[in-house]
Structure 1
Amino acid sequence: MDFNDIQSAWKNEKTENVILPSHLDKINSANMPLEKIKKNLRNEFFYQILSIILIGFVPFFYSFPANAIPPFYLLFSIFVAVCIYYLVKLYVFYRRLGKTTLSTKDSLYETYFDIRLNMELYKTFGFALIPFVILFLIGFMYYVTPDFFTKGLNSTPFLVTTFSIVTFSILFMGVALEWWVHYFYGKYAKEIRKVLDELKEE
């Protein structure tokens, strides 16, 4: 881009849309972390769908009693509906990233905040699964130690155990989600943020 090209662009467009070569190099450097995020999202879809399918066969893997199968699949259907809702939103985000062209500072800002927004969406997805984790753990306990539940739902051991399961599930999911989102998405979002900060300083 020579001086005449820059002068022409200055007259026809807003100043912030004029990209100098040095800016282009920095903006293009954000493509690598963006590709990493897209790759992780692709893997995420595959493993999430595979996990949902495998969970659906749990009653057959562990030979659930006949009276336990209907309630299991009732909860499983709700679980699948929640997963589909969030996975569709994340898939739309993935498709949007695929069409993203990082050619201006504005497009980089827009992509960065889109990534941050969907990172929070992913965390919401994880927290939406906590009730299913709790019910799974309680059901697993009932399957392994059915005598424990004969003491009554109001017994101290049952209440303490239920409280422990709920507390553990929330804390575990909270910590796990923070680590997962940071490791697979957050650190790449920080790289994009670093590019934006460098552009801001110029």
Structure 2
Amino acid sequence: MDFDKIKELMDDENQDDFQLPSSLEDLKESQMPIAKIRKTMKGEIATQLTGIVIFFAFPALVKMYELPRAVYLILMFVTSLMTLGYLAKMVWFLRRTSSVAQQTKETILRFIHDIKLTMEVYKTGIIAGSLLLPISVAAIFMGVEHRGADRFSEWFLLQMPTSTLLLVIFGYLVSCVCIYYITVKWADQLYGVHVRKLEEILKQMEE
């Protein structure tokens, strides 16, 4: 009788019957979306900081008239303050959730709560800062020296026909709606899908 062969068959059967408890499997599975959220957030912080540097360096690369240049720098300063505000919140979140390996039901609940709060600050900061972008873009395109010194001044002081003013207001409102929609979709694609995955895992753990 081949005892070695019988032993191998028994071992195979034992391995087939052995399964991790669902709670342990869920805890292990929960580490994946958490790690993805943290990785995405770190990359976005670096990207946003790089963007701030590029935006502030732009007037040094392109010759602009004084008024549009001043308006651009002031608006970018305000936008940068808003950006740094939600980036600070994201850094706080990363530090608070640094113990990714130690996962329990309570830590997952806390993680979901913290990421939702951080995302609200994130979306509010991006939307508020982006509402100034149309004016900054206008300052860039109308403020370069070869386009004429008075063009941006007339636009900025609203020295235009009523029909043109209405078109400008309508265009600004449309851009605001687009910025809001894009920001919400962007945040959902980056973080929302992973948060929903964590909530599903949490429900499985409670069953």
- The bucket for the TM-score relative to the shorter chain is 0.7 to 0.9
Confirm or deny that 1:103 pairs with 2:103.
yes
What's the counterpart of residue 7 of structure 2?
none
What's the counterpart of residue 36 of structure 2?
36
SS at match of 2:63: coil
Deviation at 1:71, TM superposition (A): 3.2
Map 1:154-165 to 2 at 5 A: 155-165=161-171
CA contact (8 A) 1:101 1:107 kept: no
Q: Comparing 75-84 with 46-55, which one deviates more in the overlay?
A: 75-84
* Cα deviations by residue, 1:93-134 (Å, 9 ceiling, x for unpaired): 122122345532122111112112212221111111133213
Structure 1: gaps spanning 5 or more residues: 1-19
Deviation at 1:36, TM superposition (A): 0.5
CA–CA distance in structure 2, aligned partners of residues 46 and 68 of structure 1:
28
CA contact (8 A) 1:40 1:184 kept: yes
SS at match of 1:33: helix
Deviation at 1:148, TM superposition (A): 9.7
* Matched letter for residue 191 of structure 2: Y
CA contact (8 A) 2:86 2:125 kept: yes
Identity fraction in percent: 21
Map 1:93-172 to 2 at 5 A: 93-100=93-100, 102-140=102-140, 142-143=142-143, 146=151, 149=154, 153=159, 155-172=161-178
* Matched letter for residue 173 of structure 2: T
RMSD: 2.5
What's the counterpart of residue 189 of structure 1?
195
CA–CA distance in structure 2, aligned partners of residues 152 and 77 of structure 1:
23
CA contact (8 A) 1:152 1:158 kept: no
CA–CA distance in structure 2, aligned partners of residues 182 and 147 of structure 1:
37
Deviation at 1:160, TM superposition (A): 2.0
SS at match of 1:57: helix
Structure 2: gaps spanning 5 or more residues: 1-19
What's the counterpart of residue 75 of structure 1?
75
Between structure 1 and structure 2, the one with the greater Rg is 2
CA–CA distance in structure 2, aligned partners of residues 53 and 114 of structure 1:
29
CA–CA distance in structure 1, aligned partners of residues 76 and 93 of structure 2:
25
Q: Comparing 32-41 with 96-105, which one deviates more in the overlay?
A: 96-105
Q: Call closer, same or farther: CA 1:152–1:92 in 2, change over 3 Å.
A: closer
Q: TM-score of the superposition, structure 1-length normalised?
A: 0.78
What's the counterpart of residue 9 of structure 2?
none
Q: Call closer, same or farther: CA 1:149–1:141 in 2, change over 3 Å.
A: farther
CA contact (8 A) 1:52 1:80 kept: yes
CA contact (8 A) 2:27 2:104 kept: yes
What's the counterpart of residue 52 of structure 1?
52
CA contact (8 A) 1:134 1:165 kept: no
Q: Call closer, same or farther: CA 1:31–1:142 in 2, change over 3 Å.
A: same
